[in-house]
Structures are given as structure tokens and as C-alpha cells.
Homo-oligomer: A and B are copies of this chain.
Amino acid sequence: MRTVAIAGVGLIGASFGLALRNAGFQGTILGVSSQRSIDQALERGAVDRGASLEEAAGTADLIFLSQPIYGIVETLGKLDPMVRRDALVTDAGSTKTVIAEAARRSLTRCAFLGGHPMAGKELRGAAAADGELFRGRPWILTGELDHPVARVLRQWIGLFGAREIILDPETHDRLVAWGSHLPQVASTALAAVVGDQSPGSAQVAGPGLMDMTRLAMSSFDLWGDILDTNSVAVGEALDAYIARLQAIRADFSGQFAKGADFAKGLRKPPTSA
């Protein structure tokens, strides 16, 4: 792997570039993004230079798509005539079914490995990039795991300190509906309703309200695509959450015990690598 192209040099894309550098990658990293993002990424050392999609895709062994989901779908639609035949396209989109379908439809000349590093923070953009962002985090992979470039990428992911998890796109999307998208919607609705109905609660805010509203700072620019491309699974999770909130008054004690069990289990170190 000599040349990596990163399309969409935001928080995740620039953090991928930095993580590669931190882990010892000595090849060239090209960034395909707005001039502002390229400038920020250059300043952070996350890319070597900006390039057009055509130039980057034409030279890269690995093409890493880290745009919002529909941006990834759009790029996949343009990429096929540009790529090297031995290249691998991968991505960092937060849902996988729609992207895997787009790749199947669009990419005929090279391989695709869907990816989803479960990492992020409330700050956006290359200026907030962090080469340690992926350490200890799951990195879901789905697709052509044994392609030569995929094997190399998986070694780098291991060097980032991330935990590789292999899932089919539908299973991934169902698991993140519950484990990522529902928490986001729960946080957004909580912040919105407290802000509307009891803004004075801000003056008595303890660490609990801060935890529960951190996700609410997320941008709809990203989340609109996520919720739109996983609406069935998110709808099911949301319905179940509403039903649980309706039932909880009759069984505070039992739900506290259940909730504490699951929450404490989440904090145990994973049993497998």
C-alpha cells in the first residue's frame, strides 16, 4: 500500500490520515475535499496534499470514503471509471446496507470493503482530527475481507488499536440502530424537550444532564443521512424505547436493575479480540 486517497477530509477522514502516520505509514496520503478542509488537514499533517477525485482515485491503492452517507453513495457512482483495477475502496459510513448496495451497483472494476469505525466526538472537521480516535473502538468491516489491500488495511486498523468486527450490512445496521442511532435520537429529544419546557433546568444541570445531552450537539448534516438510510430499524428501536418509558413508572425497581446490568456489562473489557 503506497498511496491512500481520503475523500471527505473531516473529523474521521483526517483522523484516519493521522492514525496512519502515527502507526508508521510512509506512503502518500492524498485528500479530496474542500480547500478549507485540505488546509486544516495539511496543518495537522493528516494529508500530504489535496487532489481531484480523478487524480486521487487513479493513483491510490486504497480509497477511503469518509463523507456523509449520501456523499459516499454519490462518490461511488463516479468512481468506477477512475480506479486502478487492483485498488480497494473502503468507507466510514455509519450505515452499511445502502452503501454496500451502491458499491455492488457501481463498482465493477475494483473491490469494495465496507467499514464503520465506531468513533467520533462532538467537534467536527479536520481541525479536530485525532490520531488516537480509533483506539479501543470497534471497527466494523463488511465485504471483501481477503483482497490484498484489505489484508493490509486490516493490519493498520489493528495498529490503530481498534477492534475489528466482521458483520453483514443488515446485522450492522440493526445493531447500530439500537446501540448508536437510538441513543442519538434519545439525546436529541431530551435536550429539545428540556430546552422547550424547562430551560431554567440549565442552572441546576449536573453531570447527568451533561452526559445525556452531549450527543444532542451532533449535526443534522450527518444524522439526516444516517436516520434516512436506517429508518426501519431506528423506527423499531424508537417504538420499543417509547413503550419502555411508558411502562417504567409501574416498575422502576426492575428497570433500574436491568438497566444497571446492561450498563455495567458494557464497561467490562471485551472478552475476544
Known: A175-B203, A215-B208. A192 touches B119 (CB 8 A): no
Known: A212-B215, A238-B249, A256-B219. A262 touches B205 (CB 8 A): no
Known interface pairs A183-B212, A211-B211; 5 further A-B residue pairs with C-beta atoms within 8 A, sorted by A's residue number: A167-B204, A187-B211, A188-B259, A212-B215, A220-B252
Known: A178-B201, A220-B253, A253-B224. A244 touches B209 (CB 8 A): no
CB interface residues, A 234-273, toward B, < 8 Å: 235, 237-238, 240-242, 244-246, 248-249, 252-253, 255-267, 270
Chain B, Cβ-Cβ closest to A184:
B208
A255 touches B188 (CB 8 A): yes
Chain B, Cβ-Cβ closest to A227:
B252
Query: Can you list 13 A-B pairs, Cβ within 8 angstroms, ordered by A?
Result: A178-B194, A179-B204, A179-B206, A180-B209, A183-B211, A192-B258, A192-B259, A193-B241, A197-B240, A202-B266, A210-B266, A213-B262, A241-B245
Distance between A33 CB and nearest chain B CB, rounded to angstroms: 23
The 6 A-B pairs of least Cβ separation, nearest first, read A195-B262, A179-B201, A191-B259, A178-B198, A118-B206, A220-B256
Report the separation of the CA atoms of residues A44 and B124 in the bound assembly, to the nearest whole angstrom: 42
Q: How many copies does the complex hold?
A: 2
Report the separation of the CA atoms of residues A217 and B263 in the bound assembly, to the nearest whole angstrom: 6
Report the separation of the CA atoms of residues A264 and B192 in the bound assembly, to the nearest whole angstrom: 11
B207 touches A255 (CB 8 A): no
Report the separation of the CA atoms of residues A265 and B218 in the bound assembly, to the nearest whole angstrom: 14
A39-64 CB contact bits vs B (8 Å, 1 = yes)? 00000000000000000000000000
Taking CB atoms, residues of chain B closer than 8 Å to A210 are 266-267
